[in-house]
Structure 1
Amino acid sequence: MTAEILLSPPDIGALEESYVLRAIRSGWVAPAGPELAAFEREVADRAGTRHAVAVSSGTAALHLALLTLGAGPGTVVLVPTLTFVATANAVAYTGAEPVFVDCDPTTGNIDIGLLAELLNRLPAAGERIAAVIPVDMFGACADYTALLPICAAVGVPVIEDAAEALGATYRGRPAGSFGRVAALSFNGNKIITTSGGGMLVSDDGPLLDRCRYLATQARQPVPHYEHTEIGYNYRLSNVLAALGRAQLARLDEMMARRRDLRERYAKLFAAVPGVRLLGDHDPGANCWLSVVVVDPDRAGWHAAELAAHLADRQIETRPVWKPMHLQPVFASARSALTGAAARLFEQGLTLPSGSALTEPQIGRVLDAVSAFLEARR
């Protein structure tokens, strides 16, 4: 039976094995340890920030950032509707209300015009906006040149959700360096992985000190266990940090492989009417996932038809994120919409993008797509 080609499998090899073995043999298998401290320093350097705190997931990073910036009952947080549910869930954990904002149809990132309108309208109605959380969608940064000034003008902090964007840049600045604080993810399908894990990065040392304190059960600095407030068991382990250090050392190599695959997709679809790659003209994207967008009226076929064709050949694909305003769990939430995110959900398809894909696997994918396109010419 032909093995399935996965969308973005972990890219793990001998280097990762050696780092993890070293950590285990060192005896530092608990959350604290030298690999954890080193991983935080190295990620902060890569993100262009002074400080970092490694945690158990990107969701935990967002949760801590929101708590530290005062999100809670009676506040609202502006969130893209086109995102993974973790962005919205972290807001709900605090008791704040997520208000969803539609996306730019070209990039999938947050619609700056709609965001500006909400930043003016909601405070005028007496509502307190605790934060804005732009998401660097599929590894391409949001338009921070436009976004940061409008948030600063009304005094609303920005939490950059860079979960998908480690290694990406925007106008020469690395993803993770925008806003008051940023959240990264090292989940199994991300561009680098620690199996599960995440990190907060920021130039604001006191803010990250507070996050570190909350992530370690809010334990007071006394010999016995003393707690004056609710904390969380959110720290990353030393062993997983060792895995992350090996992955980080290979980040540029892995991004190059993903970019090469995206360029091959671009050539394949270049002459197909009504088909484009989402955000294809962003030179700073890390190319985490390659998304093809299909206008069925011009192409003569639907993205779902390509997905079915590839599934029959044991090739995994996935629609883009189902917008939050269409999710049953957030059905009653407020949203500012243009229809762009809903169209991307209907017309977008994420293709195999992983750096671990072998040349024979890539050839299988490209041949299958070519056969589909030829049959519909």
Structure 2
Amino acid sequence: MMTMPIPLCIPSVGAKEEAAVLAALRSGWVAPAGPQLDEFESGLAAVTGRSHAVAVSSGTAALHLSLLVQGIGRGDRVAVSTLTFAATVNALHYVGAEPVFIDCDEAGLMDVAVLEAACADSLASLRPIRAVVPVDLYGRPADYLRIGQIASIYGAVVISDAAESLGASLGGEPAGSFGAVAALSFNGNKIITTSSGGAVLCSDPETAARVRYLSTQARQPVVHYEHTEVGYNYRLSNLLAALGLAQLDRLDEIVAIKRSHHRAYDETLSGFNGMQVLDPGDGNCWMSVLAVGPESGTDAWSLSESLLRRGVETRPVFKPMHLQPVHEGCDQHYITGRAEELFRTGLALPSSTDLRPEDRNQVVAEIAALVEEAVGV
């Protein structure tokens, strides 16, 4: 397989991470328990303003457990962002819940007006929405103030999909601090990585204990193996937690670099006719996204293919979940077309932490050349 000269988003790991993992390996703590795991969980709780963090094997596992501990189950209706990665909605199906897809605003985040309409309609039909799952898209937190108010009025619980937003903030509060529970991801391309992993964040000790219990096969606290309900093998290994600790120590540095990428793209590409780099708010700029309008003389998909031929990897914005064949038949009454438009026009640009300024300049130059070629300049 050919390595992309300028990849989309790859992890930044070096001597610090190597030393941390080696120290954990030599300590003998290689199972899903150990001092590095405990320290990683404490660190995550601290940076997200939570009292508790439980590290698990993936962001998907974190979402699954978050739903379970909030009592979401078979037949429950859950309002969920349609503009997201598959894991968000897959977790709903794991527990037997019914997704109610909510379209996005211009920033790609859950549209609060559409959410309110969905909650009102559901209550009137005597099938109330039990939970709301907003997604912090590309590192920008959703409008949790309004979402929380709406959820409270209609008796729903908020579960934050903060998989992409660690290190971001909203109104001075850290991402991950919103909702009854929040789920993080540490997949290889996320803002920090443990290779594969995730975490459930909460501020209630009983909820944290329940997450921990379910993630360790629901084993009863007795000498022999005793189980009174179904559990899951979802705990994170101590070795991967050691990697996460080293990454967490670099979080501010990583976010600063990601934001510098966004500023550079915004200053150069937003000046092109028909192009705009999406506003990240106080997000972590995990990935910078370029919206390519028809006035540019090209389109996002053609531009992506041309850039790939020139050694620059990009990726379309997430295909909305309501368009996925697997979700055919799910409630799609609250679709406005904005997510579909972003899918057509949005392009995630190279955003690796180790992306060099000269490589970033090359990305801009290649886009400029392709646009000039398209409009016949």
TM over 0.5: same fold? yes
Question: Match of 2:370, as an amino acid?
Answer: F
- Following the alignment from structure 1 to structure 2, what is the Cα–Cα distance between the partners of residues 2 and 352? 14
Is 1:315 the counterpart of 2:312? The answer is yes
Q: How many residues align?
A: 373
Structure-2 residue corresponding to 1:349:
347
1:223 maps to which residue? Answer: 223
Secondary structure (helix, strand or coil) at the match of 2:100 reads strand
Native 8 Å contact 2:48 2:177 kept in 1: yes
Identity rate, percent: 53
Q: Is the 8 A contact 2:4 2:313 kept in 1?
A: no
CA RMSD of aligned residues (A): 1.3
Q: Is the 8 A contact 2:33 2:238 kept in 1?
A: yes
CA–CA distance in structure 2, aligned partners of residues 81 and 270 of structure 1 = 26
TM-score (norm 2): 0.96
User: Which residue pairs with 1:102 in the alignment?
Assistant: 103
Give the aligned partner of residue 92 of structure 2.
91
Q: Partner of 1:149 in structure 2?
A: 149
- Give the letter aligned to residue 226 of structure 2: E
Check the 8 A contact 1:258/1:353 in 2, yes or no: yes
Q: Is the 8 A contact 1:23 1:242 kept in 2?
A: yes
**Match for 1:307: what amino acid?**
S
Aligned to 1:158, what secondary structure does the other structure show?
strand
Superposed CA offset, 1:346-371 (max 9, x none): 01011101112233432332221232
The one-letter code matched in structure 2 to 1:147 is I
Q: Equivalents in 1 of 2:230, 2:202: separation in Å?
A: 23
Partner of 1:75: 76
The DSSP-based 3-state class of the residue aligned with 1:292 is strand
1:330 and 2:327 matched: yes
The answer as to whether partners of 1:190 and 1:288 remain within 8 angstroms in 2 is yes
Q: Which residue identity is paired with 1:98?
A: P
* Residue matched to 2:47: 46
Query: What is the 5 A alignment of 1:143-292?
Result: 143-280=143-280, 282=281, 284-292=282-290
Q: For the Cα contact (< 8 Å) 1:108–1:279, is it kept in 2?
A: no
Deviation of residue 145 (structure 1)?
Answer: 2.0
Q: Hey, which bits of structure 1, 4+ residues long, moved more than 3 A?
A: none
Matching residue of 2:26:
25
Residue in 1 that maps onto 2:10: 9
Counterpart-to-counterpart distance in 1, 2:124 and 2:223: 49
Cα pair distance change 1:326/1:293, threshold 3 Å: same
Q: Distance in 1 between matches of 2:252 and 2:368?
A: 29
Q: Point out where structure 2 has 5 or more consecutive residues left out of the alignment.
A: none
Q: Displacement, 1:5?
A: 1.6
Range moving further from structure 2, 139-148 or 167-176: 139-148
Deviation of 1:97 after TM superposition, in Å, equals 0.7
Q: Could you say if the C-alpha distance between residues 144 and 2 of structure 1 is closer, same or farther in structure 2, counting changes exceeding 3 Å? A: closer
Residue 339 of structure 1 corresponds to which residue in structure 2?
337
CA distance in 2, matches of 1:305, 1:72: 42
| C-alpha distance in structure 1 between counterparts of 2:142 and 2:54, whole Å | 23
Partner SS for 1:329: helix
Which one is further off, 87-96 or 298-307?
298-307
Work out whether residues 134 and 159 of structure 2, in 8 Å CA contact, stay in contact via their aligned partners in 1.
yes
